[in-house]
């Protein structure tokens, strides 16, 4: 049996036999970053910008990058300097202010209704893996601001906006990419199964395209490292390459792309999805697109042009591997929870008919103690502040709910498709209502 961390997971039935063209985003999809070195670089360059351009004190160089400080799907509250985790129903489940995880009573002081209504002026959603360094930097600077208010006199809102602007600047001015291109092997991982996966799709008669927001020069540098070999140039894997796409706007009608001179294949800059469809000779649900961004890649390609969607979620691999040692505890927790519910029903019945409930109450308390032990054991494998990225308690997290709602299939890396037939029928599990 295929190991769980290499599997492809299905939300909606997908018949690969009906897919004529398969497309890919580049960053965090085909090209997997070495997260430790890449995020540390972003963190340090952003600090440099804050000091050299925005006049922040040199003392902020003392802070360290903590990747566990944030995770995808979290929400930054710029008004109060908080980071929030909500479940799929919008309920505020966890709040962290700087380095402090707030109690339920403290959370209620900030969010009295228990839920929040997202607005871009007040909130910023941590949507992509590119957002993690800014979230960690914000957490550390909020902590520093609280402990030394005279050092950082700006408001929580201005603090975040300055960080956001600094991150944008290092992406936009070329300083980040220049550093990365100079040491490509330091910042990217090679996946030996990736070329095999792409060849498998092409051998099955499917057209392949690359659709990325990165410019052609950077795309060449990255793709040359992850795909090129002594016998094959990276561009030979694709029927079409589109750079500088400006997603998500790419999925709205905006015009034809511009041919890139000097490329070895059918390579364009800009354009729109309709121009792309004309080039590959397929449209709508005949196209499957792989991306890592819930909104920019998956939601917009699905809603605007009707493409089928495959989301790349590296965190699946991380959490599945972490959960294997406690798989028995996870099953035991489910059984214990079901037992508590049955015992509670029985207790209510005994109370109604006037029978003694001492014995059954003892069983409930014993089960509750067991549940607490199991929960603590399971929680220890996940992020110490936020738990599982996909769940909050017994329901999906906001991020988990988004994956469920917008991705036809999802997996941790593109090369996991090498373990499946190019004509595979990915069948979703039967959805059940609670009474079933």
Active site residues: 25, 27
Count other Cβ atoms within 10 Å, centred on residue 266: 16
Q: What is the 3-state secondary structure (H, E, C) of the chain?
A: CCCHHHCCEECCCEEHHHCCEEEECCECCCEEECHHHHHHHHHHHHHHHHHHCCCCCHHHHHCCCCHHHCCCCCEEECCCCEEEEEECCCEEEEEEECCEECCHHHHHHHCCCCECCCCCCCEEECCCHHHHHHHHHHHHHHHHHHHCCCCCCCCHHHHHHHHHHHHHHHHHCCHHHHHHHHCHHHHEECCCCHHHHHHHHHHCCCEEEEECCCCHHHHHHHHHHHCCCCCCCHHHHCCEEEECCCCCHHHCCCCCCEECCCCCCCEEECCCHHHHHHHHCCCHHHEEEEECCHHHHHHHHHHHHCCEEEEECHHHHHHHHHHHHHHHHHHHHHHHHHHHHHHHHHHHHHHHCCCCCHHHHHHHHHHHHHHHHHHHHHHCCCECCCECCCEECCEEEHHHHHHHHHCCEEECCHHHHHHCCCCCEECCCCCCCCCC
Nearest to 409 by CA among 1, 19, 3, 2: 19
Angle at 366 between CA 363 and CA 368, to 5 degrees: 110
**In contact, 245 and 270? CB cutoff 8 Å:** yes
**In contact, 21 and 286? CB cutoff 8 Å:** yes
CA distances from 411 to 5, 238, 270, 291, 414 (A): 8, 22, 28, 11, 7
In terms of C-beta density within 10 A (0-12 exposed, 13-18 middle, 19 or more buried), how is residue 392 classed? Answer: buried
Token couple for 370: 């067991």
């Amino acid at each position: 049996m295929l190991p769980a961390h290499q599997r492809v997971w299905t939300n909606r039935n997908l018949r690969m036999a009906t897919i004529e063209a398969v497309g890919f985003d580049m960053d965090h999809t085909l090209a997997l970053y070495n997260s430790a070195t890449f995020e540390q670089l972003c963190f340090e360059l952003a600090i440099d910008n804050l000091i050299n351009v925005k006049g922040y004190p040199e003392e902020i160089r003392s802070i360290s990058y903590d990747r566990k400080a944030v995770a995808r799907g979290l929400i930054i509250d710029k008004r109060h300097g908080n980071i929030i985790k909500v479940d799929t129903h919008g309920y505020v489940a966890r709040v962290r202010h700087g380095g402090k995880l707030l109690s339920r009573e403290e959370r209620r002081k900030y969010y009295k209704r228990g839920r929040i209504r997202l607005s871009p002026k007040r909130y910023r959603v941590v949507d992509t893996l590119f957002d993690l360094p800014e979230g960690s930097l914000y957490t550390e600077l909020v902590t520093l601001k609280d402990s030394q208010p005279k050092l950082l006199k700006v408001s929580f809102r201005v603090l975040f906006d300055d960080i956001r602007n600094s991150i944008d600047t290092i992406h936009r001015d070329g300083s980040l990419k220049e550093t990365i291109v100079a040491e490509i092997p330091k910042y990217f991982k090679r996946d030996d199964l990736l070329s095999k996966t792409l060849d498998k799709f092409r051998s099955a008669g499917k057209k392949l395209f690359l659709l990325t927001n990165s410019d052609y020069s950077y795309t060449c540098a990255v793709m040359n490292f992850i795909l090129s070999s002594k016998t094959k140039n990276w561009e030979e894997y694709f029927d079409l390459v589109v750079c500088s796409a400006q997603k998500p706007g790419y999925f709205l009608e905006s015009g034809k792309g511009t041919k890139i001179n000097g490329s070895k294949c059918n390579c364009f800059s800009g354009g729109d999805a309709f121009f792309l469809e004309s080039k590959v000779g397929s449209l709508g649900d005949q196209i499957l697109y792989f991306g890592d961004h819930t909104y920019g890649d998956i939601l917009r390609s699905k809603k605007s042009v009707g493409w089928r969607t495959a989301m790349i979620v590296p965190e699946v691999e991380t959490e599945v591997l972490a959960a294997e040692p406690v798989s028995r505890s996870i099953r035991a927790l489910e059984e214990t929870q079901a037992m508590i519910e049955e015992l509670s029903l029985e207790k209510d019945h005994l109370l109604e008919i006037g029978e003694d409930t001492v014995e059954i109450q003892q069983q409930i308390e014993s089960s509750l103690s067991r549940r607490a032990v199991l929960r603590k054991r399971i929680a220890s494998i996940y992020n110490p502040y936020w738990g599982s990225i996909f769940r909050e308690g017994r329901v999906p997290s906001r991020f988990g709910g988004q994956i469920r709602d917008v991705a036809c299939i999802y997996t941790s890396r593109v090369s996991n498709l090498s373990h499946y037939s190019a004509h595979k029928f990915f069948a979703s599990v039967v959805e059940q209502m609670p009474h079933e």
